[in-house]
Amino acid sequence: MFRKSSHAVMHSGGLFRTPRPLCRALQEALMKAQSVWNLDFGGTPTVDELTFHQRKYPSTPMFHVLDLDGRVVNPKQEPEVPKETLIKMMEAMLRQQSIDLILMEAQRQGRISFYMTSMGEEASAVGTAAALDMRDELFLQYREAAALTYRGYTVKDMVAQCMGTIENELKGRQMPIHYGSRALNVHMISSPVATQIPHAAGAGYVCRLENERETDPNKKRICAAFVGEGSASQGDFHAGVNMAATMKSNTLFLIRNNGYAISTPSSSQYAGDGVFARGIGYGIPCARVDGNDILAVFQTVRKARELIRTTNQPVLVEALLYRSSHHSSSDDSTWYRSRDEVEVFSNLFLPVARFEKYLERKLLWTPEQSRSLSQKVRQETLAELHRQEKLPKWPVSSMHDDVYKEMTPEMHQAQKELEEHYERNKKEYNM
């Protein structure tokens, strides 16, 4: 979205004049008392001229490594990434892109009920996943499937979840794209937005306590919560980040600011300096990064992880990017934004193409590899769709499982009654 920027200059001259001698006794008394507010005034607790403080424009610049042609702008900031990791990052983005194309089309054909793509946002998810350790716990929102793909979630896993087949170990209970994997340390996605933020704060507190007891540095881990900028308006965002700060949780908050919450532009979502500035209000380290630059995301998250581990503070990273696709298969974004706007982002800031050029320059990748991998994954996804369409769903008896760890007597009774009902009416259910 192209918002007209009115550049307001803050008049804060009072802060720069030599202050008149302040009341010494008052200063000393307040320096003694300041800890009651958990503040440290650095020697100057009061001013004698009233000033209202505002922090809005100019907005905080975002960190980037690559230019639009995939060239490194500042060699000192180019992260050292193993070749295998760079290739894995590229492959994960391409795989997710290909999977998205096929599954979105499958939804249009009525083969699955719902879908959300990650178009244009692959770099933020993959860059983050690559910079984290496999044991770090991920708490996703819903547009971070590429992070799962990077960790090894397969086409088969995704199709099984989207179709709710017997092969979906999650038993087909949630809408499509609500993935999760205990083996990959990725917590189950749920639809209510922002609820995962205080979860990541609590689990991050567990990480801190366990890290303090753990002697092997390689076994120390953190939690990472992925949050859209719209979700950051929820009360749970305030609760989770604030509590992570006071409890010193080992948690990363990764904000995907893609400019829209369905149809709501960021001008209706907030008035401050993005979500970034709020983290500063909670007293934690914050960074803003070009979300279309996977190396910038990688470098930022890797440094954030080090900071979290060494200072026992949560860190907030805001990645600025653009939602190229509709919000979901239930949305037509042309109702609220122009095609021109979408095309500018789709053609200009391409996260995947940008990284591809970088890898080509390093002789690690070729366009042919992109075409080949994309085609292979599209075929793999199509084949998996065909195969799983023939699979049964989970049995009727499973409908009462997992409400509690053990079944209560009434649950047993209800389960039995439902199975008997189903047997009596099987033909009409046509399942």
Partner 1 sequence: MLRRIGTTHVVSPLSSFFSSVASARRLQMTAVSASQAREHADAPEAVEMNFLQAINSALDLALSRDEKTVVFGEDVAFGGVFRCTLNLSKKYGSQRVFDSPLSEQGLVGFAIGMASAGWKPIAEVQFADYIFPAFDQIVNEAAKMRFRSGGHFHCGGLVIRSPSSAVGHGGLYHSQSVEGFFNHCAGIKIVMPSTPSDAKGLLLQCVEEEDPCIFFEPKRLYRSMVEPVDPGYYTIPLGKGKILCEGRDVTIVTYGAQVGVAMKAAERAAQEGISVELIDLRSLKPWDREMVTQSVRKTGRVIVTHEAPKTSGIGSEIVSCITQDCFLSLEAPPMRVCCLDTPHPLNERLYLPNELKVCEAIKYITGY
Pick the binder of partner 1 from 95, 151, 187, 288 (CB under 8 A): 187
Tokens of 279: 């983290």
Minimal distance, residue 186 CB to partner 1, in Å: 10
- Among the residue ranges 33-41, 86-94, 112-120, 194-202, the one whose residues contact partner 1 (CB under 8 A): 194-202
- Among the residue ranges 72-80, 240-248, 299-307, 317-325, the one whose residues contact partner 1 (CB under 8 A): 240-248
Minimal distance, residue 244 CB to partner 1, in Å: 8
Identity at 85, one-letter amino acid code: T
**Per-residue mark of binding to partner 1, 157-176 (x: CB under 8 A):** -----------xxxxxxx--
Give catalytic status of residue 191 as yes or no: yes
Give catalytic status of residue 328 as yes or no: yes
Residue 301 makes contact with partner 1 by CB under 8 A:
no
Pick the binder of partner 1 from 120, 180, 228, 274 (CB under 8 A): 180
Compute the radius of gyration of the chain from its Cα atoms: 25
Pick the binder of partner 1 from 143, 178, 327, 354 (CB under 8 A): 178
Ramachandran region, residue 283 (left: φ > 0; alpha: ψ -120 to 50; beta: rest): left
Q: Contact 121/143 with Cβ under 8 angstroms?
A: yes
Residue 408 makes contact with partner 1 by CB under 8 A:
yes
Q: Which of 17, 38, 58, 89 is nearest to 277 (CA)?
A: 58
Q: Which of 78, 114, 122, 72 is nearest to 97 (CA)?
A: 122
Minimal distance, residue 184 CB to partner 1, in Å: 11
Give catalytic status of residue 124 as yes or no: no
Pick the binder of partner 1 from 72, 206, 373, 418 (CB under 8 A): 206
Minimal distance, residue 121 CB to partner 1, in Å: 24
27-66 b/e (C-beta count within 10 Å ≥ 16 → b): beebeeeeeeeeeeeeeebeeeeeeeeeeeeeeeebbbbb
Give catalytic status of residue 326 as yes or no: no
- Among the residue ranges 95-103, 202-210, 269-277, 302-310, the one whose residues contact partner 1 (CB under 8 A): 202-210
Q: Which of 113, 191, 372, 397 is catalytic?
A: 191
Residues near partner 1 (CB under 8 A) are 137, 139, 168-174, 178, 180-182, 187-188, 190, 192, 195, 197-207, 209, 223, 235-236, 238-240, 242-243, 246-247, 401-405, 408-410
Catalytically active residues, by annotation: 105, 191, 327-328
